[in-house]
Amino acid sequence: MKQIIRRSFLLLMILMFCTSFVFAAGNQEAQKKKIDHALDKWLKEAQLGEYAPKQENLAETLKKATAEGKVVIYSSSSRIHKVKDLFEKTYPGIKLEAYNIESLKLVEKFGREYKSGIYNVDVIFGGEGVTLYKYWQQGMLWKYVPSRVKDLIPPYFQKWLLIHRWGPGSVIYYNPVYWKTLPPIHNLWDFTDPKWKGKIVMADPLQHGGTLSNIVKMVYGPNADALAVAYKKKYRKDIDITGYKNAGYYYLAKLVKNGLIIVKSDDNVVDSVGAPNQSGMPPFGLFVTMSKMRKRKEKGLNLAVLAPGIVEPFETFGSPPTAILNGAPVGIAAHAPHPYAARVLIDFLEGDENGNGGNKPWHVIGNWSTRNDVKTVPGDIQDRNKLNTLKAVPDPEWVEKNTPAVRDFWMSLVF
């Protein structure tokens, strides 16, 4: 427990750092207000922002990228290491230096280095969304959309940074070897019943950015209201939330009181759910991205998800494609030392029309390319409308304002 507290305290400091940045007033105009002489010089040399050419000379870009000889990426996805060899084989003159960093730690590291004038990284790939959005507003990140895919990606996936992929979001996992048929779970409130005590596992919101994002969305007004309706449907009485702000906060409290198992990461969650040869009933895994279904093949885990249309009021935490905070953004860091190699890498990550090339590690169940010519893989959910998903998605300003209160509430439950 002491080790968990120390880790959580460290992540609390990281979160406080991340949320200390203030939102700028707009989008590209907000970026202009943050541009000093040095940044303007870099943008001009890198041909980004207002200096971006209407028509990119791809041969010249590759020539400059090869002269740079290297590209550095911070990625919240461990799968970035799977593209290194293929990238370097495709572009033998450019070395890929890839770092996989948990989403909360990624934005903290990048922000801390940037404020200190340390410009090591070229490409930011994923990370905690609200903070990345603020960094973009402040001119710390810049959009680059490869010309070969620009017309294949809908405009709403290009509004601030380029969105590489999206999907159904976080889901609920169970072990299909133990449960030969669907388990008797139809309502999120089922997980607060004593019969499931100690059989629910979730990643620590103080250490895992995706889980923190999910519980923040849960307490957002329309979603909390939906939880209240679901409570009445299950128990045939109105919910009593005396002492709590809304049904979302009450749900989290009930979950913890029912012996919630809290682990470090979402990988730990699916390991707990899907490990083979378990004695007794394996736990249910809450709120883990659906792309972890790939662990069935990678690690031999027994995994299935309660979706689509199985659990009320929502079984996924996915955002609609038009939402600002949706999917995995990728962008070029301001003052990046290798901006042209960064271009080549971002283009490479977009892959081809079959989901291969640089996109192959992410062409799996639960990850949907933002390219409209790339089909989802067989066995994936093909129709998002069949999912019981969030009733509403808060905007970045609401998330930034309310995350500290949700984090404090969570700490009051577990410490």
- Give the residue extent of every domain in the chain: 2-166+324-381, 170-317+388-414
Closest CA to 367 of 259, 290, 273: 290
Per-residue pLDDT of the chain (415 residues; tens, 9 = 90+): 434 444 444 444 444 444 444 343 344 444 444 689 999 999 999 999 999 999 999 999 999 999 999 999 999 999 999 999 999 999 999 999 999 999 999 999 999 999 999 999 999 999 999 999 999 999 999 999 999 999 999 999 999 999 999 999 899 999 999 999 999 999 999 999 999 999 999 999 999 999 999 999 999 999 999 999 999 999 999 999 999 999 999 999 999 999 999 999 999 999 999 999 999 999 999 999 999 999 999 999 999 999 999 999 999 998 888 999 889 999 999 999 999 999 999 999 999 999 999 999 999 999 999 999 999 999 898 788 889 999 999 999 999 999 999 999 999 999 9
187: which DSSP letter?
Answer: B
* Helix/strand/coil for 8: helix
Quick one: CATH architecture of 170-317+388-414? 3-Layer(aba) Sandwich (3.40)
> 115 near 334, Cβ under 8 Å?
no
Tell me the β-bridge partners of 55. Answer: none
Closest CA to 130 of 394, 346, 370: 394
- The per-residue pLDDT for 382 is 77
* C-alpha to C-alpha distances, 332 to 57, 74, 139, 219, 227, nearest whole angstrom: 18, 11, 11, 33, 39
> 262 near 413, Cβ under 8 Å?
no
- The per-residue pLDDT for 12 is 47
Hey, do 2-166+324-381 and 170-317+388-414 end up sharing a CATH topology, with the first three levels equal? yes
Quick check: bond before 339 cis, omega within 30?
A: no
> 4 near 204, Cβ under 8 Å?
yes
* Helix/strand/coil for 4: helix
Q: Which two tokens stand for residue 278?
A: 């378990």
134: which DSSP letter?
Answer: H
Count the neighbouring beta carbons within 10 Å of the beta carbon of residue 42.
20
- The per-residue pLDDT for 320 is 87
In this prediction the pTM is 0.88
What is the greatest pairwise CA distance in the chain?
69
Residue that the structure tokens 């669907």 belong to: 182
Fold of 2-166+324-381: D-Maltodextrin-Binding Protein; domain 2 (3.40.190)
